[in-house]
Amino acid sequence: MRRVLATVLALVFSGAGLSTASAQSANDYLIVPDSRIGLVSLGMSDQDLFKVGVPIQTGAFPAMTLYRYADMDVFVDGASHKVISVTVKYNSQYHTAEGVRIGSNLQNVEAAMGPPEFLQTSPVECCDPIAVTYRAHRLRFSFSPPGSSMADRPKLTVQIIQIQTPGAQTF
User: Does residue 53 form part of some domain?
Assistant: yes
15-65: pLDDT as tens digits: 445 544 444 576 799 999 999 999 999 999 999 999 999 999 999 999 999
Residue 114 lies in a domain: yes
Q: Report pTM.
A: 0.82
Q: In which domain, by residue range, is 25 found?
A: 2-164
**171 falls within a domain:** no
Q: Are strands 95-96 and 30-32 parallel, antiparallel or unpaired?
A: parallel
Number of structural domains the chain divides into: 1
Residue 42 forms part of a structural domain:
yes
Note the pLDDT of residue 51.
95
Task: Tell me if 150 is assigned to some domain.
Answer: yes
Residue 17 lies in a domain: yes
> Is residue 170, in this structure, part of any structural domain at all?
no
123: confidence class by pLDDT, cuts 50, 70, 90? confident
Position 169 in a domain: no
What is the per-residue pLDDT across 57-68, written as a single tens digit (0 to 9) for each?
999 999 999 999
